[in-house]
Copies of this chain bind each other. A is one copy, B any other.
Amino acid sequence: MNIVVLGGDGFCGWPTALKLSKSGHKVTIIDNLCRRSIDVELSSNSLTNIASIADRLSAARLHGMDIDFYNIDIAKEYYRFVVLLENIRPDAVVHFAEQRAAPYSMISEKERRYTVDNNIPCTHNVLNAIVEVDTNIHLVHLGTMGVYGYSAAFGKIPEGYLDITINQTNEKVDILYPTNPGSVYHMTKSLDQILFQFYNKNWGLKITDLHQGIVWGTQTDETVLDDKLVNRFDYDGIYGTVLNRFISQAAAGIPITVYGTGEQTRAFIHIKDTVQCVKLSIENPPEDTSRVRIFNQVAETKRLIDLANMLAEKYNSQIEHVKNPRKEAASNDLEVANNGLRGLGLSPITLDEALVEDVMFIAKQLSANLRPEQILNSPEW
């Protein structure tokens, strides 16, 4: 298939582009390289030494992955994007081109506004370009589990749609799951859902929205092929996710910091499975386009304190509880349906089986690149 990967230089986008290319698809990356400029802005760094996009593409070519690349800001260069899409005429567009860190989106009004002013026009421009170029293009979008919120009253989290009874009419219907985002970043994915719903309803667009859990891990089958293909590993308080923070701390022999009690339960998925899920979604487009197809892209749920304990035990680390910078419940249960992607063939990696391997890989990178002061720099909200 002919596939465009928006945001294909990022943490999920890059290994996805490689996987799709390695699988025989024709791949074009569109990216404005903003994740790299945000590193400059934040004085942050990937623990791994990531190559320039030019070096990445050359190395990929050496390994049989011939990927095209265009530097376009889709939120701002709509017509340039349309002209390119018209030339490429892809079967599918994968949309990772959004500011993706909750803490970043909560630093100040500047980052709140950037996150909305980038993510919403970007998604809306992608939808409009598809309407203009070819309404048969399948749009695969990376959503987030964070659109659901974590309310016990709602029970096990279904895949996008919730079965309810309207009290005043006693009618049973299913509705888009009532959204309750916890940050401006998560809120933009809630807004995206409404955009998708309308563009699907009015133009019949074929859309898959993947509500992903917290991604962990770094390398995939393709990123290990060459040093210059290595993926990002963010460990700072802004872009690093909770598990990356734990792993960096365990490997560095410093205390593992847990926000609050650590009794927050979250859903996780390995980066190898992220890539696999996107591939499965593209290769199995929805047959029913009467509404947006929504999958939960998660492998399992875990309490954060249990993960911290698991790592602490293996690596003889201390655990340190620190004040939670976020407004969120101190403790919650979480059950998540993931039948959709399992039905397409996903058999996910679990934390128990693979976490050690990841720590060893990271440990090797650590001594040169780790800046401990970056680990706890999350803004409060």
A residues whose Cβ falls under 8 Å from a Cβ of B: 78, 109, 112-113, 116-117, 120-121, 124-125, 128, 131-132, 153-156, 158, 162-169, 171-173, 175-176, 178-181, 184, 187, 190-191, 194-195, 197-198, 201-202, 327, 381
Contacts and interface: CB of A to CB of B under 8 A. Distances in A.
Contacts of A109: 78, 128, 131-132
Contacts of A158: 168
B198 A194 contact: no
Given A154-B169, A154-B171, A164-B166, 19 more contacts: A78-B109, A109-B128, A109-B132, A113-B121, A113-B124, A116-B124, A117-B124, A120-B191, A153-B166, A153-B169, A163-B166, A164-B165, A164-B167, A165-B167, A180-B201, A181-B194, A191-B191, A201-B327, A202-B327
Number of this chain's copies in the complex: 2
Contacts of A163: 166-168
A202 to B, nearest CB: 6
Given A131-B109, A132-B109, A202-B327, A168 B155 contact: yes
A112 B166 CA distance: 33
Given A167-B163, A169-B154, A175-B178, A121 B131 contact: no
A195 B117 CA distance: 13
B173 A176 contact: no
Contacts of A112: 124, 128
Contacts of A124: 112-113, 116-117
A154 to B, nearest CB: 6
9 contacts: A109-B131, A117-B121, A153-B173, A154-B166, A154-B169, A164-B166, A167-B172, A181-B198, A191-B194
